[in-house]
Amino acid sequence: MLHSGQILSKQLHEERLSRVFFTIEDRIKHLTEFVQGYGKFAKLPEPKLQQVDFTHLLKQLSAQWQFGFDVTQSCTVIADPVQVEQLMINLLKNAHESGSSTEDIWVETEQCRESTIITVKDAGKGIPDNVLSNVLIPFYSTKTNGSGLGLALCREIVDAHHGQIALHNREDKGLAVRVSLPSPPYNPSSV
C-alpha cells in the first residue's frame, strides 16, 4: 500500500503527499529495526563458552570500526564468541555515535587473575548523570531515534557470562564503559 501511494503521489506531483509517504516509510523502517532488535534481545541464547582471543577479535573489528587499542597486549576471555563480538559492536557503535572523533575512541584491556577488564572510552558528550543509571534498562534511550536495546543487550550478554558492566562519565570528556568477563584459569608459568 505504501509503495502504491508513493507511485500515486509522484504521478500527481504532490510534494506534501510525497513527504507524508516518506515519513511513513521511515517510521516503518525504524519500527522494523526495533522489532528485530527486541526479538534478538528477548531470545538471547545460553552462551556457548570457549576461550576467545580478545586481541584477535579487536583486530577483526578494527576493519569495520575505527578505534585504538594496544595490539601488543595479549588478552583472552572465556565467552561465547558471537555474543562477545556483538557486545563490542554495540559498545563501539555507541562510541562512534557519541560525537567523539574516531581517534579518541579507545579500547583498553587488562588481563587479571580471574577476569579480563575491557574498557571502551570515547571523548563524546557523555551521558547526563541523572540518566546514567537508566541506560542499561531495556527501551530507555538518550538518542532521538534510539531503540534502547543496544546497552540493554550488552548488559544481558555480560550477565549471561557472569560478568559486570558499568558506565561512567570521564573526568575530562566522554564516557567509559567497563566490562569484566571471566578469564581462562590462571597459569603462573605462562607469565
Q: What pLDDT score does 177 carry? A: 96
Determine the residue type at 46: E
Q: What pLDDT score does 39 carry? A: 56
Least confident residue range of 27-36, 74-83, 86-95, 118-127:
27-36
> What does residue 123 show for φ and ψ, rounded to 5 degrees?
-120, 35
Could you write out the DSSP letters of every residue in 164-187? EEEEEE-SSSSEEEEEEEEPPPP-
Q: What is the CATH number of domain 48-190?
A: 3.30.565.10
Between these two residues, 185 and 61, which has the higher pLDDT value?
61
* pTM reported for the whole predicted model: 0.71
For 60-110, how does the pLDDT look when each residue is reduced to its tens digit (9 = 90+)?
999 999 999 987 778 889 999 999 999 999 999 999 998 899 999 999 999
What value, to the nearest 5°, has the Cα angle with vertex 147 and ends 6 and 121? 125
Least confident residue range of 28-32, 38-42, 56-60, 99-103:
38-42
71, three cell numbers: 595490539
Contact 43, 35 (CB under 8 A): no
Which among 163, 156, 106 is positioned nearest to 136, based on CA atoms?
156
Element (H, E) at 67: none
Domains of the chain: which residue ranges? 2-41, 48-190
